[in-house]
């Protein structure tokens, strides 16, 4: 789908990053932790997937930091993909964009590669149901080469037998979010989407987005950490553990 009319995509990407930071004040530290691991463990010519990339904030940081790396950004959202393509383009032929639904069991066939060194994903996999998470991990185990890694940055809840830790994470997250959301000039998810949906040139693309995500039921409760640990271990990843954490905001790492 092409977008006509003048859209200031750079401005929308800056606003996207600011909006995401309202929810994740330590978003850049979490990106850094993931990239530190990639840089420490993998060759500088690595090929990475940015899974559920949105407009490619993580791809951009990875390609800036690692000038010989290549990245494939995968997402289903036509608005965010259009933004990423417009602002980042192919990043000197090092970045490819793939439109795919991660719930589709055959999504990896769209990638154009059969193996990658790393899969990175941020603030996204909680959109998927447990069965889709398990199927996704099985696909990732086929895609990531031996010695390669998966890094998932997301809110992943404490287990049920730690109710006080769960409660502390929920209370602090809510309190801090309210402070940032009400700060002067702050924009949250709903406000950002309402603003972009009001751009006449993007009306059709935004309607297409709504059709594609009609299945989604918004749920603010983070999925349990064990779901991902178990799914990755069952899929064949040999080491699975948290490498960065702030309350229940974590980076879960798995080694193939």
Q: Closest approach of Cβ 248 to ligand SAM, in Å?
A: 16
Based on the shown chain and the rule CB under 6 A, indicate whether residue 7 belongs to the binding site for ligand SAM.
Answer: no
- Output 168 or 248, the one with its CB closest to ligand SAM: 248
Residue 48, CA distances (Å) to 4, 36, 98, 144, 206 in order:
31, 14, 13, 9, 28
102 touching ligand SAM, by CB under 6 A? yes
Determine, following the binding rule CB under 6 A, whether residue 127 of this chain makes contact with ligand SAM: yes
Q: Which is nearer to ligand SAM, 58 or 169 (CB)?
A: 58
Q: Which residues contact 171 (CB under 8 A, 6 or more apart)?
A: none
Cα gap 32→250, rounded to integer Å: 13
> Contact between 75 and ligand SAM (CB under 6 A)?
yes
Using CB under 6 A as the binding rule, whether residue 103 contacts ligand SAM is answered as: yes
Nearest approach, Cβ of residue 110 and ligand SAM (Å):
11
Question: Which range of residues in 47-55, 62-70, 158-166, 228-236 is near ligand SAM by CB under 6 A?
Answer: 47-55
Buried b (16+ CB within 10 A) or exposed e, 33-63: bbbebbeeebeeebbbbbbbbbbbbbbbbbb
Task: Compute how many other C-beta atoms are within 10 angstroms of the C-beta atom of residue 22.
Answer: 20
134 lies in the binding site for ligand SAM (CB under 6 A): no
Minimum CB separation of residue 39 from ligand SAM in Å reads 19
By CB under 6 A, is residue 20 in contact with ligand SAM? Answer: yes
54 binds ligand SAM (CB under 6 A): yes
Tokens of 91: 């990043």
- Per CB under 6 A, 154 contacts ligand SAM: no
Determine the straight-line distance between the first and last CA of the chain, rounded to whole angstroms: 37
């Amino acid at each position: 789908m092409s977008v006509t009319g003048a859209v200031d995509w750079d401005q929308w990407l800056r606003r996207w990053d600011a909006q995401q930071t309202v929810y994740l004040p330590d978003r850049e530290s979490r990106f850094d932790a993931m990239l530190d691991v990639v840089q420490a463990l993998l060759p500088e010519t690595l090929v990475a997937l940015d899974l559920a990339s949105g407009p490619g904030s993580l791809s951009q940081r990875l390609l800036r930091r690692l000038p010989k790396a290549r990245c494939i950004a995968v997402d289903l959202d036509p608005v965010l993909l259009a933004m990423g393509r417009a602002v980042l383009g192919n990043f000197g032929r090092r970045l490819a964009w793939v439109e795919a639904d991660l719930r589709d069991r055959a999504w990896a066939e769209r990638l154009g590669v059969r193996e990658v060194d790393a899969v990175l994903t941020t603030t996204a996999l909680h959109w998927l149901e447990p069965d889709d998470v398990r199927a996704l991990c099985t696909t990732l185990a086929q895609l990531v080469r031996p010695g390669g890694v998966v890094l998932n940055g997301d809110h992943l809840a404490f287990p049920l037998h730690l109710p006080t830790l769960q409660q502390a994470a929920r209370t602090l997250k809510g309190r801090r979010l309210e402070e940032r959301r009400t700060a002067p000039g702050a924009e949250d998810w709903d406000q950002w989407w309402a603003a972009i949906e009001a751009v006449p040139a993007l009306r059709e693309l935004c309607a297409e987005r709504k059709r594609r995500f009609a299945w989604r039921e918004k749920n603010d409760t983070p999925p349990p950490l064990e779901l991902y640990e178990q799914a990755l271990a069952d899929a064949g990843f040999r080491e699975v553990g948290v490498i960065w954490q702030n309350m229940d905001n974590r980076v879960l790492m798995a080694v193939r």
